[in-house]
């Protein structure tokens, strides 16, 4: 990259203009952090107001995550080829339109459509918000600019449930989408006025067939898992989706292996350091997002908390994550990234085992304890694993490697909702008693614990009281089962990482492990790990999705 291309702002007279542009990008990025978690506290409200079943609630969350994950890499490549500012504006526009639709719909099906549009917008915004930074800032200023974007995305995650709870307690459920509209609009105007256009005509073109295979394959897989809980695993549609996903994803792998410039560089998965660090982040994302789907329902339906109070009671999880963000770099320097990741996974397992002891009479103290441990374990796993994943990449593949990592993490989030939501639904449906209820009411009770409480209010009397008791017991049993699944999954991953993950990144261009130990606190290129964006916050590397290319 030439100096003139790499440092386009040295001749700019208006110094403040660049920082105003960065503020607008940070605002747009903050919205994405909100959108990832803000709906979790709204699920019980949606179940009551829209009659959303557990399956539909899963799709409300997963429609955003799946589209976000499956289209991120091709979206970033479109920005490289056709204009980063142009695609960023299109992404913000999609986010605005999806949010507007979300405020107006009156059915779960249309809400899923709105979330799908928002997921497409998010896929454009995340990689391209970072990729325009080189057109605005000097090399000396870029780390600070990137840290601002990383902090904005990270801050949105814990603030989402809190803000969502406040909005739900004071306004109608559509207000959780309404807040996106002015933020996205400001981002669009700022991009048009303040952000210069940049693109790379030599960027590889997006392969339409590979993109279709990836989106269809991942969508069919998640659809089969979610629908399996409600339709039954022997349902022809569920079986067809699962088999179809295997065929589509296999076709994707075979096609990508023949491409000179693949859209998804799957050859990176042959690097065990990259693969096992990436899988650790996927496992952490799966558990964290899955629990954020389950726990709000427990706090609101069983514990009787308001939406706002639920958001506040989820903060210990985020607090544990923030503490881990500080502790991770210290531990990596002391014992190495592999050992730190293993400890993080063991904390996740411990949290699951503690949470699995919950019963209907348990107070919030027990939940707060394992929520803190969950957040701490997530941070100790994700932060060093993200940094180590990138350290195992040669410089020329850092962009596509980061994109593959982020795609895996987003799919881990989607699979967390799908898998743990399916376990939750099956155990709950098998445990709730509908004796004495008419057929239609019994079917409604099976949909969710919130629906069971609504039916109990209508029925009243001893039958209603018995239904509440049965539904609460069934849901707590289902939640503890999902926590036990999380605990076992984290424990198995910890053992595999300790056994199979290499402790040292290979030198660039060398496939051997004969390099300085990553315990020394430096990345493979000699950059101190403590100074990298990836070690500053869990989301730092999330932004490094698309390596910026030279401007024209």
pLDDT tens, 236-266? 988 999 999 999 989 988 887 887 767 666 7
- What is the Cα gyration radius of the chain? 23
Is the model's pLDDT at 485 over the cut of 90? Answer: yes
How much is the pLDDT for 186?
A: 84
Pairwise pLDDT comparison (408 vs 515), residue with the higher score: 408
Across the strands, what pairs with 522? Answer: 528
* Domain range for 33: 1-201
Helix axes 315-335, 337-355, angle to 10 degrees: 150
Across the strands, what pairs with 149? Answer: none
In contact, 88 and 197? CB cutoff 8 Å = no
How much is the pLDDT for 12?
A: 42
Separation of alpha carbons 62 and 537, rounded Å: 24
Most confidently predicted of 137-146, 270-279, 507-516: 270-279
Q: 120 in a domain, yes or no? A: yes
Exposure string of 57-87, with b = 16+ CB inside 10 Å and e = fewer, is: bbbbbbbbbbbbbbbbbbbbbbbbbbbbbbb
pLDDT digits (tens, 9 = 90+) for 358-413: 998 888 899 999 999 998 998 899 888 877 776 776 655 555 666 677 777 777 87
- Least confident span in 151-155, 509-513, 523-527: 523-527
Q: Please count the other Cβ atoms lying within 10 Å of the Cβ belonging to residue 353.
A: 17
| Whether residue 317 sits in one domain with residue 388 | yes
| Whether residue 248 sits in one domain with residue 101 | no
Across the strands, what pairs with 528? Answer: 522
Is the model's pLDDT at 35 over the cut of 80? Answer: no
| Whether residue 173 sits in one domain with residue 221 | no
List all residues 6 or more positions away from 330 whose beta carbon is below 8 Å from its beta carbon: none
The number of distinct structural domains making up the chain is: 3
How much is the pLDDT for 348?
A: 95
Give the Cα-Cα-Cα angle 104, 25, 291 (nearest 5 degrees): 60
What is the band of 155 on the pLDDT scale with cuts at 50, 70, 90? Answer: low
How much is the pLDDT for 60?
A: 86
List all residues 6 or more positions away from 347 whose beta carbon is below 8 Å from its beta carbon: 373, 374, 376, 377, 380
| Whether residue 342 sits in one domain with residue 250 | no
Query: Residue range 50-70: average pLDDT?
Result: 79
Q: Please count the other Cβ atoms lying within 10 Å of the Cβ belonging to residue 292.
A: 26
pTM: 0.72
| Whether residue 197 sits in one domain with residue 256 | no
From the centroid of its chain, how far is CA 477? 26
Query: Residue range 424-438: average pLDDT?
Result: 83
Q: Please count the other Cβ atoms lying within 10 Å of the Cβ belonging to residue 439.
A: 8
Q: 1: closest CA among 525, 399, 267, 392?
A: 399
| Whether residue 488 sits in one domain with residue 385 | yes
| Whether residue 193 sits in one domain with residue 165 | yes
- For residue 309, give the CATH number of its domain: 1.20.1250.20
Q: 4 in a domain, yes or no? A: yes
Query: By three-state DSSP, how is residue 297 classified?
Result: helix
Q: 70 in a domain, yes or no? A: yes
How much is the pLDDT for 512?
A: 37
- Least confident span in 31-35, 362-366, 452-456: 31-35
- What is the average pLDDT score of the chain? 77
Query: Residue range 174-191: average pLDDT?
Result: 84
List all residues 6 or more positions away from 361 whose beta carbon is below 8 Å from its beta carbon: none
Q: 517 in a domain, yes or no? A: no
| Of 232, 262, 292, the domain-final residue | 262
In contact, 102 and 177? CB cutoff 8 Å = yes
Separation of alpha carbons 201 and 549, rounded Å: 10
Q: 445 in a domain, yes or no? A: no
Most confidently predicted of 94-108, 317-331, 451-465, 536-550: 94-108
Q: In the 3-class helix/strand/coil scheme, how is 98-126 assigned residue by residue?
A: HHHHHHHCCCHHHHHHHHHHHHHHHHHHH
Q: Which two tokens stand for residue 237?
A: 């549609």
Q: 541 in a domain, yes or no? A: no
What is the band of 131 on the pLDDT scale with cuts at 50, 70, 90? Answer: low
| Whether residue 218 sits in one domain with residue 189 | no
Is the model's pLDDT at 542 over the cut of 50? Answer: no
| Whether residue 117 sits in one domain with residue 60 | yes
| Whether residue 211 sits in one domain with residue 179 | no
Separation of alpha carbons 216 and 70, rounded Å: 9
| Of 186, 201, 216, the domain-final residue | 201
pLDDT digits (tens, 9 = 90+) for 291-345: 878 888 888 888 888 877 887 888 888 788 878 878 888 898 899 889 999 999 9
| Whether residue 213 sits in one domain with residue 308 | no
| Of 178, 201, 224, the domain-final residue | 201
Q: 91: closest CA among 144, 167, 31, 41?
A: 31
Query: Residue range 202-215: average pLDDT?
Result: 76
> Phi/psi class of residue 436: alpha, beta or left (left: φ > 0; alpha: ψ in -120 to 50)?
left
Q: 365 in a domain, yes or no? A: yes
| 357-366 CB contacts, 8 Å cutoff, 24+ apart | 357/480, 358/476, 358/479, 358/480, 358/483, 359/476, 360/302, 360/472, 360/473, 360/476, 364/299, 364/303, 364/313
Q: Report how far apart, in Å, the C-alpha atoms of 488 and of each of 400, 413, 420, 498 are.
A: 32, 18, 13, 16
What is the band of 272 on the pLDDT scale with cuts at 50, 70, 90? Answer: confident
| Whether residue 369 sits in one domain with residue 305 | yes
């Amino acid at each position: 990259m030439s100096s003139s291309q790499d440092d386009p702002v040295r001749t700019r007279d208006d110094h403040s203009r660049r920082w105003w542009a960065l503020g607008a990008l940070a605002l747009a990025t903050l919205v994405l952090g909100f959108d990832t978690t803000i709906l979790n506290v709204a699920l019980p409200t949606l179940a009551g107001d829209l009659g959303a079943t557990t399956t539909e609630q899963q799709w409300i969350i997963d429609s955003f995550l799946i589209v976000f994950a499956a289209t991120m890499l091709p979206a970033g490549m479109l920005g490289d080829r056709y204009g980063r500012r142009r695609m960023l504006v299109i992404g913000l526009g999609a986010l605005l339109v999806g949010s507007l639709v979300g405020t107006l719909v009156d059915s779960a099906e249309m809400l899923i459509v709105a979330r799908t549009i928002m997921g497409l917008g998010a896929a454009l915004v995340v990689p391209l918000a970072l990729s325009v930074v080189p057109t605005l800032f000097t090399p000396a200023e870029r780390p600070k600019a990137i840290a601002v974007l990383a902090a904005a995305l990270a801050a949105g995650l814990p603030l989402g449930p809190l803000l969502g709870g406040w909005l739900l307690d004071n306004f109608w459920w559509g207000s959780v989408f309404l807040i996106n509209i002015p933020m996205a609009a400001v981002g669009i105007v700022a991009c048009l006025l303040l952000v210069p256009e940049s693109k790379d005509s030599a960027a590889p073109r997006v392969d339409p067939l590979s993109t279709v295979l990836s989106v269809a394959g991942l969508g069919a897989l998640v659809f089969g898992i979610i629908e399996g809980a409600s339709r039954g695993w022997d349902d022809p549609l569920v079986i067809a989706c699962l088999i179809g996903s295997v065929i589509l994803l296999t076709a994707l792998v075979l096609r990508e292996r023949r491409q000179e410039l693949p859209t998804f560089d799957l050859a990176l998965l042959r690097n065990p350091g990259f693969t096992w660090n990436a899988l650790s982040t996927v496992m952490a994302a799966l558990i964290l997002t899955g629990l954020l789907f389950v726990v709000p329902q427990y706090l609101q339906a069983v514990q009787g908390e308001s939406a706002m109070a639920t958001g506040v009671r989820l903060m210990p999880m985020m607090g544990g994550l923030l503490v881990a963000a500080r502790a991770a770099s210290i531990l990596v320097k002391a014992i190495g990234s592999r050992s730190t990741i293993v400890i993080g996974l063991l904390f996740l397992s411990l949290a699951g085992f503690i949470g699995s002891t919950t019963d209907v009479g348990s107070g919030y103290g027990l939940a707060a304890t394992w929520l803190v441990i969950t957040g701490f374990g997530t941070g100790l796993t994700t932060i060093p694993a993200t940094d180590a994943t990138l350290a195992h990449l040669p410089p020329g593949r850092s962009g596509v490697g980061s994109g593959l990592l982020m795609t895996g993490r987003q799919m881990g989030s989607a699979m967390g909702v799908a898998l743990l939501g399916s376990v939750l639904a099956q155990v709950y449906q098998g445990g709730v008693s509908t004796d004495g209820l008419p057929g239609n009411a019994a079917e409604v009770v099976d949909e969710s614990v919130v629906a069971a409480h609504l039916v109990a209010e209508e029925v009243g009397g001893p039958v209603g009281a018995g239904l509440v008791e049965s539904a609460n017991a069934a849901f707590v049993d289902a939640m503890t089962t999902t926590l036990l699944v999380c605990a076992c999954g984290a424990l198995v991953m910890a053992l595999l990482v300790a056994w199979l993950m290499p402790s040292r990144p290979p030198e660039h261009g060398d496939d051997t492990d004969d390099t300085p130990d990553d315990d020394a606190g430096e990345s493979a290129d000699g950059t101190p790990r403590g100074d990298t964006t990836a070690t500053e916050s869990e989301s730092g590397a999330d932004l490094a999705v698309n390596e910026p290319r030279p401007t024209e």
